[in-house]
Amino acid sequence: MKDVLVIGAGGVSSVAVHKMAKNPDLFGKITLASRRQFKCDAIAASVKQRFGADIDTAQVDADDVDAMVRLIEKVKPALVVNLALPYQDLPIMDACLKAGVHYLDTANYEPRDEAKFEYSWQWAYQERFKEAGLMALLGSGFDPGVTSVFAAYLKKHHLDTIDTLDILDCNGGDHGQHFATNFNPEINIREITAPARHYENGEWIETPALSTRQVYNFEEVGTKNMYLMYHEELESLAKHIPGIKRIRFWMTFGDQYLRYLDVLQNVGMTRIDPVMYNGVEIIPLQFLKAVLPEPSDLGQTTKGKTNIGDIATGTKDGKAKTVRIYNVCDHEAAFEETGNQAVSYTTGVPAMIGAALMLNGTWKGEGVFNMEQLDPDPFMDMLNQHGLPWQVRELAEPLRF
Ligand code: NDP
């Protein structure tokens, strides 16, 4: 049974659904449901036009567990792919448990009223999924997702031990807008304005947001400023790579983006606590999201490439070794194929691959899993086959910072 129910109809979902429909050998019936059905219908029309495939659409508020259960019981999928927002992770996991289906997502749970994202809430479902004989796969996007599988692949094939891991996320694309985010603006800005945190010698070290900058020359993109940030896969990789001494996450930002962000922060537009406006409570960041460009509309104008990957140092056969592994994705090529830019593409394709591996039983288990806990090889092969080819090479020396 390869029927799938996808929740959420943003850029990431659009890519995943296009790729699922493009691969009828991997997926059975595809049903797409979201808060507003017209968004699902627009994706369905694009899928029909591009690949001649039909998908079903539906409306659902995924915060409503009973409504989700009713939808799952009607559609009867083997797997629910959650590509809505992190806020919906727990209600959708609850619905999967009640209805007895497997679960996959791309981002970990975050409470709405606190810019705090961590796996504890979802790891707490371990026993319930195990007892139900179900699998929940967490973080099947690019980062987390591919970068986590890259680490597992390096550990399996290139290094006996990993001492340090740096994840480098570069978007060298230009969308031609004054200020826009490449995925959901609310989630994106909450993530970037949170304090940076990295793991070193068993401890979490916190530094002010965007206060540590380094320069890196990204293959096929060029030299960019990148900033130390906290990212959720650090938490699971610190747990699942035994003996690791340091893990850091870096993301590139242009000067103009940071200038706008600074102003928006200083005037209070990124606040997530309610303020009264004309007698109505509004959350400034949610209002800001409403006036910013929709990430799913950026594809038309975005040019350039993303380069996301890992650098791991460790030992092989007793000798020190540093390995670089990365993918380069072209915004215009991603748009040509799916109607979406590369940030949505690099997340939607791994979601499709994770779903395919669960549906055909290559990746199976009972309980809650992070990506690095599973065999990386079939996933790495599928990245090459489905539009996200990767390169791996040994570096002469480790990073000097
Ligand atoms: P979008 O905001 O474009 O899309 C989210 C979709 O979820 C929208 O269609 C929205 O509906 C829908 N939605 C929101 N609330 C509900 C609800 N209560 N019930 C049903 N549907 C709902 O986001 P993206 O496509 O950019 O991102 C999707 C997910 O992917 C996010 O969780 C994001 O954090 C994650 N992500 C992960 C990455 C990774 O590498 N791991 C990278 C980038 C993103 P509506 O259209 O009506 O607003």
Other CB atoms within a 10 A radius of the CB of residue 212 amount to 16
Position 338 pLDDT exceeds 90: yes
CB 69, CB 95: distance < 8 Å: yes
Instruction: Read off the pLDDT of each residue in 121-150 and give the average, rounded to a whole number.
Output: 98
Ligand 1 center–CA 163 separation, angstroms? 34
- 86 close to ligand 1 (CB < 6 Angstrom): yes
Choosing from 61, 89, 94, 106 the residue with most ligand 1 atoms within 8 A of its CB, the one to mutate for a pocket test is 106
**Is residue 84 lining ligand 1, measured as CB closer than 6 Å?**
yes
Nearest CA to ligand 1 atom 41: 141
> For residue 295, what pLDDT is reported?
85
Q: How far is the CA of 82 from the centre of ligand 1 (A)?
A: 9
- pLDDT tens-digit profile of 156-167? 999 999 999 999
The CA 11 to ligand 1 mean position distance, Å, reads: 8
Q: How many helices (H) and strands (E) does the chain have?
A: 14, 18
In this prediction, residues 229-236 reach a mean pLDDT of 96
Structure tokens at 154: 């390096």
pLDDT tens column, 13-54: 999 999 999 999 999 999 999 999 999 999 999 999 999 999
pLDDT over threshold 90, residue 216: yes
Q: pLDDT tens across 146-187, in order?
A: 999 999 999 999 999 999 999 999 999 999 999 999 888 888
CA of 398 to the centre of ligand 1 (A): 36
Rounded distance between C-alpha atoms, residue 228 and residue 299, angstroms: 27
Mean pLDDT computed over 313-324? 97
Which residue ranges form the domains of the chain, and what is each CATH number? 4-138 (3.40.50.720), 146-340+390-395 (3.30.360.10)
Return the best residue to mutate from 6, 34, 38, 112 for the ligand 1 pocket (most ligand atoms within 8 A of CB). Answer: 34
**Rg value, the chain, Cα:** 20
pLDDT value at residue 113: 79
**pTM for the whole thing?**
0.96
Closest CA to 302 of 181, 169, 216: 181
Q: Is the CB of 88 under 6 A from ligand 1?
A: yes
Residue 115 has pLDDT above 80, yes or no: no
pLDDT-above-90 percentage for the chain: 93
Q: Which residues 6+ apart lie within 8 Å of 145 measured at CB? A: 106, 139, 233, 347, 350, 351, 354, 371
CA of 138 to the centre of ligand 1 (A): 15
**Closest by CA position to 140, among listed 393, 391, 376:** 376
Locate the DSSP E strands across 139-212: 161-171, 196-200, 203-207
What integer pLDDT is reported at residue 182 of this predicted model?
83
**CA-closest residue to ligand 1 atom 3:** 10
pLDDT of residue 116 exceeding 80, the answer is no
Question: 348 C-alpha to center of ligand 1: Å?
Answer: 11
Question: What is the structure's pLDDT at 296?
Answer: 80
